[in-house]
Amino acid sequence: MSAAANIFVGQTEAPLVVKPYISRMTESELFAIMVGGLASIAGSVMAGYAGMGVPLNYLIAASFMAAPAGLLFAKILYPQTQQFIDSQPEADDSEKPSNVLEAMASGASAGMQLALNVGAMLIAFVALIALINGILGGIGGWFGYGDLTLQTIFGWIFKPLAYLIGVSWEESGIAGQMIGMKLAVNEFVGYLEFTKYLQPDTPVVLTEKTKAIITFALCGFANFSSIAILIGGLGGMAPNRRGDIARLGLKAVIGGTLANLMSATIAGLFIGLSGAL
């Protein structure tokens, strides 16, 4: 249910459909929720990216493909070995609102608490990444690389990976840098850089296949900052699982990234085949 909800809402809203079960889930089930959230983007965010010029048809396809892809890699990386808990959680009548006004007030209060948790964690993680970039820039300046950042390093690392998922070697450097930006910061920064290559006056014209692969590869919340969002959002729903969420966070980012890259590979394959016909 959470994986299906991730097609339409974000990584902190989708788990609300299974909120009563989160505190009692096995680690494999909890991990599946985390990967599902990181492999997809919210519908509202999708509309924003489409407004920036990112092809909407690719974004919609990527969102629907993210649900099964996220579950696939979640179970590959963390198979179900613990016993399922299939009993219904006991209902607490004291938590049920007595009328519509109380339900509205309770929902607003819970939403505010969730937003504050997520915001605080996100600020801390973004600040940490900025600190790392500052240190790297200082060290790089000694060797003539004053603009060295975490994004740049990941761009170098992901260049051969971009080539492996179907991008031509000539364009793999551009694709690799965007994937690196998405992983180190977030997908918004990656798409913002991507839109520069969608303008009519762009000096570098990307092929349609490369545009599709980049769109699919960036279409997910799998980045280091999202670990903080998971701890603040999902951990706020089940405080007793906060330690498990923090421990599995980096592994979930890997799972979400692999899901996005697999979707990008499949999209590139089909577009390449259609172009050859």
Residue 212: pLDDT band (50, 70, 90) is very high
Reported as a single tens digit per residue, the pLDDT across 231-250 is 888 888 898 999 999 999 99
- Residue 69 scores a pLDDT above 90: yes
Quick one: pLDDT band at residue 228, thresholds 50, 70, 90? confident
User: Which pLDDT value is given to residue 115?
Assistant: 64
Q: Kindly report, residue by residue over 7-54, the tens digit of the pLDDT.
A: 888 888 888 888 888 988 999 999 999 999 999 988 878 888 888 889
What is the DSSP annotation of 183-249? HHT-HHHHHHHHHTTSSTT-SS---HHHHHHHHHHH-S--SHHHHHHHHHHHHHH-GGGHHHHHHHH
Could you tell me what percent of the chain has a pLDDT over 90? 36
Spell out the domain ranges in the chain. 2-83+112-276
Rank 6-10, 64-68, 93-97 by mean pLDDT and report only the highest.
64-68
Q: Of 124, 185, 182, which Cα lies nearest the Cα of 158?
A: 182
Residue 276 has pLDDT above 60, yes or no: no
Indicate if the pLDDT at residue 74 is higher than 90: yes
In angstroms, the Cα distances linking 146 to 133, 135, 149, 184, 185 are 10, 10, 9, 18, 19
User: Tell me, what's the pLDDT at 277?
Assistant: 46
Q: What is the mean pLDDT of residues 76-89?
A: 74
d(CA 70, CA 7): 11
pLDDT-based confidence at residue 123 (cuts at 50, 70, 90): confident
- What average pLDDT does the chain have? 84
Q: What is the pLDDT of residue 95?
A: 58
Model pLDDT for residues 152-165, shown as the tens digit of each residue: 787 788 899 999 99
Nearest to 122 by CA among 246, 232, 273, 217: 232
- More confident position, 216 or 48: 216
